Amino acid sequence: TIQGVRLRAISATFLTSGMRVSELVSLNRNSVDFEDKSAWVIGKGNKKRMVLLTDWAIWWAQQYLNLRKDEHEALFVTHQQGYPIVRLSPDDIRRPLRRIGRKLGVKLTPHTYRRTSGSNLYENAEDLKAVQVHLGHSDIKVTERHYVHTGYRKMKEIPEKHMHYGSNLEDIGTQAVLRWAKEHDQCLNCGTKEIRHAGKGYCYNCYMNAVNAQKRLEKSGETET
């Protein structure tokens, strides 16, 4: 349907440009340079700024315009039978997103798109200034506070690469692997020669770390392979 193609075009425009919902509804047909893949929008504080689009967003916008028979200047308009064609309002965009969000079990709003766009740009470009320009913030502190999220994708890589403390116990905290020795004079994991040992091969602290890791593993319902 033309409404479905319109929603695809809106989603692609949001995700690639990071614009606000008020900026998106202000777009006119002649605001978009389809060759340059850019557009002029009226931003916060009634300031005019340029946003950049991708081939993906441009393609969907063109598909939508090809289906339209009206001459309205707005890029995104209503298509309700029996009613005049008018420019979409922010609420006209929020409503279908709420419906999709309920089906997916997530909160989906125009601002969700905006935050996703800013976070995705930062994770891939790692350039805070670029994110500030992308989102149209006058103060870079706003960008850093509200829109830059390193995210767990990068955070997951940090412990394995950088958080090493000389431990030789395999996969501690995820999969407890206990290596026992019949005779020893020090802990097989940390090397301590203290007298108190919890089991053959390990001092009390290392043994308990491994036992607790095993308990977490069993509690999560995972199985060792």
- pLDDT value of residue 110: 93
| Residue of 64, 147, 202, 207 with catalytic role | 147
Residue 184 pLDDT greater than 60, yes or no: no
Active site annotation includes 111: yes
Q: Which of 37, 94, 111, 197 does the annotation list as catalytic?
A: 111
Which of the two residues, 220 and 130, has the higher pLDDT score?
A: 130
Whether 147 sits among the annotated catalytic residues: the reply is yes
> Which candidate in 122, 134, 137, 207 is catalytic?
137
| Distance from C-alpha of 154 to C-alpha of 101, rounded to nearest angstrom | 26
For 45: left if phi > 0, alpha if psi spans -120 to 50, otherwise beta; the answer is: left
Angle between helix 55-67 and helix 2-17 axes, rounded to 10 deg: 150
Question: Given a cut of 60, is residue 211 above it in pLDDT?
Answer: yes
Q: What average pLDDT does range 196-218 have in this prediction?
A: 69
Claim: this prediction has a pTM higher than 0.85: no
Record the tokens describing residue 189, joined without a space.
């994991």
Higher pLDDT, 179 or 217: 217
pLDDT digits (tens, 9 = 90+) for 2-24: 999 999 999 999 999 989 999 99
Known active-site residue 44: yes
